[in-house]
Chains A and B, each alone.
Chain A
Amino acid sequence: MSGTQRGAPDRTEPLLFELGAPGRCGVDLPEPTGAATRLGAAERTAKVGLPDLDEATVVRHYTRLSRLNHGIDTAFYPLGSCTMKHNPRLHEKLARLPGFADVHPLQPADTVQGALAVIDEMARWLRILTGLPAVAMWPAAGAHGELCGLMAIRAAHEASGEARTRILVPDSAHGTNPATAAFCGFQVHKVQENPDGRVDTASLKAALGPDVAAIMLTNPNTCGVFESDIRAMADATHAAGAYFYCDGANFNAMIGKVRPGDLGVDAMHINLHKTFSTPHGGGGPGAGPTVLSAALAPFAPLPWVLPGDGGELRLQEQAVGPAAASFGRLRAFHGQMGTFVRALAYCLSYGRDSIRKVAEDAVLNANYLRAALADTLSPAYPGPCMHECLFDDSFLDGTGVSTLDFAKALIEAGFHPPTVYFPLVVSGALLVEPTETESRATLDDFIETVRALVARARGPEADGFADAPANAPRQRTDETRAARNPVLRWTPPGTCGSTS
């Protein structure tokens, strides 16, 4: 496509605020009557400053902008730890049925039995798939689920009169883990990894003590390997009177194959927007239901969905009766219904027989990539890996090409790059997660591209990497300028810019 064509991806699209003109409107609403208001002293007198646009201009604006994005629908998206699998459109249709989309959260219980049944059935699936007896459905995302789990853990310790202050977290953990622990008032204590990419059991055991509230591990961990010593670590943790929080971001490697409850996990959030295929939407929304062991279940957040006297479902919204020990509310209302509908439809499509194929094909695809690229890239750890494989940057030694350059060259080749520079425990990390919804043919295409790029990096043309991605909607962006002189909003011409 010619770079000069209107609407072509390499052109800049004006901002909404540069497209408006007074007299246009994108909605046709009836004329107000102009009756006297009852707004009192609060009545607005100044304009908001929004642009007036017609519908066609708005539709074209967003359609053009959408073309500047890479999505799962566009091409391969092997972004490690994010589980960028296919998002089925059936689920979009179901979530928009009026019986789910057009239901108010404070309607009387007898008018929302279908919605409560979806929550209850999704909860049952999550309990069975994880082997844990309870689940708090309300967290809005993974980090919110971490908060839920650590709050339940702190509440449980407090209920038994203990003021434990430390949480053990390995260096390979997602940033949300230490952030959540600190948010909950805990001190974060780092534990070491082994040379094989696993938490060092001896180091973990040595760090346990009467002031440790919990360990926070990811399994499979962010190095892409299963914590083979996990039950010994769980046993040691429990023997020390602490709880085991598992970051469930990587549940896609385990779904249907292994129940975290069988490994000694006490609490784990599940990212419905990863494992259960609900769309990432450019950064959300997600949902982070958090499964809890019997010891933590009494502290689960409000509300609780409980069976009523006549078999109907009801919401227990107060910390009384069975929910007397609940640590309270995590948010308004009751969870991400739109996400539950999509996730439950996902579960029902696989059923008991084939749900484990998700994990099997995800792990198979990752190991296939790993095997095919083992002599081209540099695997960070011995195999097999689980659903993602981690490479370090030693394959680029002496080329002058960085992991970032390599990622940008993958963009030039039409792929979304893997996660780069995470986890922090290996140099110049490339974390590749293909997911089960990619075909062998796509993987072969990626493998060939990577091989060719590595050959180029090692050859005389390596200079080209610094200029990649040449054909993307944008070249590399000046992030230093963005951070030094932040421009975080449009301001009308002639006014002072928003800086800080």
Chain B
Amino acid sequence: MRWLPNTEADRRAMLDRIGVATVNDLFSDVPADVLDPVLDLPPAAGEIEIERAFRDLGRRNRAAGDGPFFLGGGAYRHYIPASVDALIQRGEFLTSYTPYQPEISQGTLQTLFEFQTQVALLTGCDVANASMYDGSTACAEAALMAARITRRARIAVAGGLHPHWHDTLATYFRFAGLELVPLPAAEPGCWLPDGPGALPDDCAAVLVQYPDVFGAVGDLRPWAEAAHAAGALLIVAVPEVVALGALRSPGTDGADIVVAEGQSLGVGLAFGGPYVGLFATRDRHVRNMPGRLAGETVDTEGRRSFVLTLAAREQHIRRGRATSNICTNSGLCALAFSVHLALLGESGLARLARLNHEAAVRTAERVDAVAGASVTNRTFFNEFSVTLDRPAADVAAAIEQRHGVLAGVPASRLYPDHDDLAHHLLVAATELTSDADIERLGTALEEVLR
């Protein structure tokens, strides 16, 4: 076995050194009747067979790049520059652990410090942590943090929150003793320009998604004013981080906590994971944050150095009184995010965001020209909602089977119990969407809706 360096001679010599006859003598504390069970598993396979088996399995999936592709709904297909993957596969990054020994972990620590800075700049916040599992769990942790800060247990949630994120919140709240209060929803594709309206009493936070699940975007400031007037925090949840290259920063417009799914930069689709959760807030709340933080200091020779800091919030120090139970986070995905964003820079991110938006505008115009399809959004970034004259799931299935086009996410996939949304299709475009892709979508819609 290529991963086991000890030879039989080594093993024999080591057993002798230990002073036992067989390796099972080292398992003497295990009840003998349960040791070495028979396992109904396949025999060992070599590298060649395994690669062949996975290539076969992979071919049973349609890759997004196999044809025109318009799926979003919380995961977005973007181009990842080749150097991102080359850099994150350097063994010093790939095979290191959490940087608990700063003298030999400055690579990870400095990249985390840079990641935190990038996330703070993007979100318009003062500080960001070193990542969470993904956007949905970051969102749930943000709500718990707001409850800790305000000592209130009720979170008002706007209607446009992605149902998976909503359901994750609901699960966390049920066990953490928080109450999820739904706010009235706007029409799909519409942003409530005046904010949330009346808020329930004793809200810890108002939580709004930006862009919302139907792609709508708008002014966050009325939401911040309403939340703050009620003594609550504003949490803004961003499902597509590239949007922040074209949209006003939530932190600048009054958000107290901003969480985002960072998958779009550097990480890829990967059937849903691993992804990377971004978590940012104001300076004054930093000691209530979940997760790890890298901070700047000096070593004994006065050189700039980085360490994990404010660990008194964390489970390995505070145990049952920690701000979160999180330990392993999404470090390598955070690195990929950071490298991709470093390559983009200010000008590249602005251009990337603009290209996404323009592709979506062109897609929307083409779709809107199809009889039986109408775009419902007034505003959007790179994803919008379309109303069809028949159930969207049927239309999407027909387009996939007859035209090889993945036309979008039927709202019924996310809202199976909402008959009123059965005719809605979520359509996303990115810098990878070509004009030819858009035309194939338009033609396919015309054929299927004829």
Contact = CB atoms under 8 A, between A and B. Distances in A.
B328 A143 contact: yes
Contact of A285 (B333, B358, B417): B333
B331 A281 contact: yes
A65 B107 contact: yes
A143 B326 contact: yes
A25 B50 contact: no
Given A43-B248, A333-B74, A283 B170 contact: no
Given A41-B219, A103-B63, A284-B333, A51 B346 contact: yes
B118 A97 contact: no
A183 B290 CA distance: 12
B137 A140 contact: yes
Secondary structure of the A contact surface, majority rule: loop
Contacts of B25: 384
Interface stretch (B32-40, B195-203, B224-232, B442-450): B32-40
A281 B61 contact: no
B208 to A, nearest CB: 12
Nearest to B13: A440
Instruction: Determine the interface band of chain A, counting residues with CB < 8 A from chain B.
Output: 35 or more
A125 B133 contact: no
B96 A282 contact: yes
A347 B43 CA distance: 10
A306 interface: no
Contact of A348 (B42, B105, B317, B396): B42
B271 A105 contact: yes
Nearest to A96: B85
B97 A101 contact: no
Nearest to B276: A285
A473 B305 CA distance: 10
Given A285-B274, A481-B297, A489-B127, A32 B354 contact: yes
Interface string A332-369: 11111111010001011111111111101101110110
B370 interface: no
B397 to A, nearest CB: 7
A1 to B, nearest CB: 16
Contacts of B246: 37, 39, 43-44
Contact of A99 (B28, B63, B102): B63
A298 to B, nearest CB: 16
A67 B379 contact: no
B188 interface: no
B325 interface: yes
A33 B63 contact: no
A486 B406 contact: no
Nearest to A198: B29
Interface in A372-426: 372, 384, 386, 407-408, 411, 416-417, 422
B335 to A, nearest CB: 7
Contact of B400 (A35, A111, A279, A301): A111
A118 B64 contact: no
Contacts of A309: none
Interface in B253-304: 261, 268-274, 276, 283-284, 286-287, 292-301, 303-304
A329 B276 CA distance: 18
Interface stretch (A172-180, A200-208, A235-243, A453-461): A172-180
A315 to B, nearest CB: 10
A356 B5 CA distance: 15
Contacts of B352: 27, 29
B299 A185 contact: no
A84 B51 CA distance: 24
B142 interface: no
B59 A99 contact: yes
Given A12-B304, A45-B248, A69-B104, A101 B269 contact: yes
A147 B41 CA distance: 29
B328 A69 contact: no
A45 B104 CA distance: 41
A12 B234 CA distance: 39
A68, A72, A332 interface centre (most CB from chain B within 10 Å) = A332
Nearest to A408: B103
A331 interface: yes
A482 B346 CA distance: 29
B324 A489 contact: no
A172 to B, nearest CB: 12
Contacts of B90: 62-63, 66
A104 B64 contact: yes
A499 B295 CA distance: 10
A181 interface: yes
A35 B361 contact: yes
Contacts of A112: 61-62, 271
Contacts of A321: none
A452 interface: no
Interface in B37-72: 37, 39-47, 50-51, 53-66, 69, 71
A99 B61 contact: yes
B390 interface: no
Sort A-B residue pairs by CB-CB distance and give the 10 closest, nearest first.
Answer: A99-B58, A281-B332, A73-B91, A333-B272, A351-B44, A114-B60, A105-B272, A26-B343, A283-B331, A285-B274
Given A68-B105, A90-B51, A103-B270, 8 more contacts: A55-B343, A69-B104, A74-B91, A105-B272, A280-B97, A285-B274, A331-B133, A361-B11
5 contacts: A50-B344, A125-B41, A179-B319, A477-B305, A483-B312
